[in-house]
Amino acid sequence: MVSSILAAALLLAPVLGAPAPQVTIPASFGPDSQVSASVQPSTSGYRVEVLVNGYTSATYHGPYTGTPTTIGAVPGPTTLAASIPPQPLNPTATYYNTEGVPLNPMPAPFTPAGGLGTNGSLPRYMVNSDFDFESIALGLYQEWIELDLFHDGLARFTDEQFTAAGLGPEARSLIEFMANQETGHATLLTNMLGESAPKQCVYNYPYTTVREWVDFMQRLTRFGESGVWGFINHLDSREVGQLLAQSIATEARQQQIFRQMSGLTPMDVWFENGWPQSWSWTMLAPYISYCPENTTRLAWQNFPTLHILNNANINRYSPNDTAQDGSETVGPRIADPSRSNITTGSCENLNVTGYGCGPAIAHNKSEPLSFPGKKILFQWEAPGSAVGPNNSYVTSTSAGAPKFVGWSQQLNLTYSPLTVTGNNSGYTYQPEGYVYDNDGIINGTMAVMLTDLDLYVTPFNTSMLNPHIVALGLYQAG
């Protein structure tokens, strides 16, 4: 099966000649396809139903009501230390080219020396360590929810509701295509894991309107994409990383499209941010209701939730009018979307440049969702909450009292001081900073966290911060 997937991944489309220009609009578009085809069985682990609008969805989306039989992240045979200590620079990292030409003998024509997996050995497209397995298993949990989520909104809402939200039949067809992409992604990751690959689960979603559904998808694909960028270059199997990169590049396009459908600017940063696996698992787990018996469990940590009480409501033409008490988020879970059924100040059907937020290729906001110096209000949960599949994972932290707010975006992790105002509540001011030139660090849909230490980390070692995280949240900066 792996070889067939590889063949599919490597198959190149033929180059076609440009079609002749069409002068008249045809009255019909030819007969049905004459190409033989067969219907493939569903990969879902649960029964689906066909709704009146012709789309399919799982028969149940709701909370888990049973009693978990297993508690906590899956452990290893033993744990060697409480954390991984910082180490000096890798002693072999010494190459520096001042000549601008190859310095070492070439192993073959047009082949500079170096690189991994370039010695002619046959590729093996399977995970090659516990790190690989747990990382790709997390990715598969993500692909499974996307497969279900993208289909669910299409089945849940009527044509009239989609039209009212500015999404016509062609937009819905595009979303359906993105849902079908997830079938391929889930198949690929399953093949690279083998027989212990996690199965599809049942999910519990927060949205009640089309706009909330699309907003939730742009948030979910953000942590799905960033979660992979964070671990992909740490994988032991370079072959797995290659195919995973070809999958996650598609997810990046999905996130951009969902931002456009939400009325947000499609691109607002120069660099996408990478997250450790425990960050994305923390954001994903609350939306998984229950899984089939004996589903493979994950080893990653679930952090307590950081609630951003005045997280900008993307449905307001004046985001600074967002309520300060958290009431404009649809629920208490970490990636819940903005409430769309606001009675005043909605930008949804406002056709005014700089203020409207209907689906579009791009929008420029006259009033931004956030800005340097904005006071951000927080509440955070204590550890010990049951989350995830079958309520069988438990939030935890090894950090001390919170002192800083970490802002993870682009190539940076920036800190601002936290002012504690009460029991698990406080505030900070959004910091200002630039990556290069006029590229402001903080923008887009991004991770924020409370920490007990302003530890210096960079994109390749961000997970070193995990032992110092008190609570984790998702900030809508732009």
Strand order in the sheet with 419-422: 306-308, 375-380, 425-429, 419-422
384 contacts 72 by C-beta, under 8 angstroms: no
65 pLDDT tier (thresholds 50, 70, 90): confident
Q: Is the pLDDT of residue 21 over 60?
A: no
Q: Is the pLDDT of residue 50 over 80?
A: no
Give tens-digit pLDDT for 165-215: 999 999 999 999 999 999 999 999 999 999 999 999 999 999 999 999 999
Cα 160 from Cα 64, distance rounded (Å): 31
Cα 191 from Cα 326, distance rounded (Å): 42
The pLDDT score that the predictor gives to residue 52 is 58
41 pLDDT tier (thresholds 50, 70, 90): very low
The mean pLDDT value for 111-124 works out to 93
The percent of residues above 70 in pLDDT, for the chain, comes to: 89
The percent of residues above 90 in pLDDT, for the chain, comes to: 79
Backbone angles phi, psi at 324, to 5 degrees: -95, 5
Give tens-digit pLDDT for 118-176: 999 999 999 999 999 999 999 999 999 999 999 999 999 999 999 999 999 999 999 99
Q: Is the pLDDT of residue 67 over 90?
A: no
Closest by CA to 381, choosing from 392, 394, 371, is: 394
CA–centroid distance for 271 within its chain: 15
Query: Within 10 Å of residue 320's Cβ, how many Cβ atoms?
Result: 13
Q: Is the pLDDT of residue 10 over 60?
A: no
The mean pLDDT value for 347-363 works out to 93
Considering the entire predicted model, what is its pTM? 0.88
The pLDDT score that the predictor gives to residue 396 is 98
Cα 152 from Cα 220, distance rounded (Å): 14
Average pLDDT, the chain: 89
Length of the chain: 478
Least confident stretch, 57-66, 386-395, 428-437? 57-66
Give tens-digit pLDDT for 416-474: 999 999 999 999 999 999 999 999 999 999 999 999 999 999 999 999 999 999 999 99
